[in-house]
A and B are shown apart, each in its own frame.
Chain A
């Protein structure tokens, strides 16, 4: 009789602890959810980004550029697994270099190199404090990284981000 009463009491104590821990787990989950929801939800919208690829061999670009990047191609992450946006246009612009001629400094187009400016349309999400994101990637003008522009893998600087207007 005494043995069974003790066992029942021990079981009760064990149950108390289990209930206590479950309650604690629920409390932590609720707190986590509250803090997460307090950060706000993400809104989704379109932006137009301009990427700059500097110092591309002009001759190579003129010969093979059409094969490397085409309008309508996807912009992908460096490893190619995530599509970040769609290429709207590709423009070759002069790669400027500083020179001094007859004692006068000036800028001139580099004879062998060109820069590429690539305009990309992206769908991004935004949350206060967390900036713009395309997938996990932070999208911010002034940032840089490696991307796949169509079939062309290159380091590029993101020089402009504008909200797309209708």
Chain B
């Protein structure tokens, strides 16, 4: 009777596994709760999308939501401005800059949910955006490979 109640090594292992699982779940939810408690606000992030075809640019609209390749929401398009991409030519020692008719350099302003910490903008409170950083995002119709130009320290209203 007594021997049947005694725990063997497998029992201890399973108990340990169960305790680890429970503590993992608790740590995860505790972290999420703390993060959601933080004051996340929308900040304007300005990015540059270079050498895009005119028709590709028209596939991006103000108000579009941009996602990462993994499907995580990145931000919302606040404004789009574009100028013809320029080609540099050198002839007879002179440098010429010729604007393209088909390709545009596009500046996009995004509203990104995050917080400022030690001079860094942390998207979602954790993902630090850096000036000069290159990323690829997706709207409903377009793919945007862009470079971060700057962000504004004041939240978007």
Chain A residues packing against B (C-beta within 8 Å): 6, 9-10, 17, 50, 52, 96, 98-100, 103, 105-107, 126, 129-132, 138, 140-143, 157, 159-162
Contacts and interface: CB of A to CB of B under 8 A. Distances in A.
Contacts of B97: 105
Contacts of A143: 143
A96 B100 CA distance: 10
A160 B91 contact: no
Interface residues of B, number: 31
B118 interface: no
B87 A141 contact: no
A140 B53 contact: no
A107 to B, nearest CB: 6
B96 A105 contact: yes
Given A96-B101, A142-B52, A161-B59, A132 B91 contact: no
A128 to B, nearest CB: 8
Interface of B: 4, 14, 52-53, 55-56, 58-59, 67, 71-73, 87, 89, 91-92, 94, 96-98, 100-102, 138-145
The interface residues of chain A, by DSSP majority, are classed as strand
Given A131-B138, A140-B143, A143-B143, 5 more contacts: A105-B89, A106-B98, A130-B67, A131-B67, A160-B59
A78 to B, nearest CB: 18
B157 to A, nearest CB: 26
Given A9-B4, A160-B55, A129 B87 contact: no
Q: Which of B56, B58, B71, B142 has the most CB of A within 10 A?
A: B56
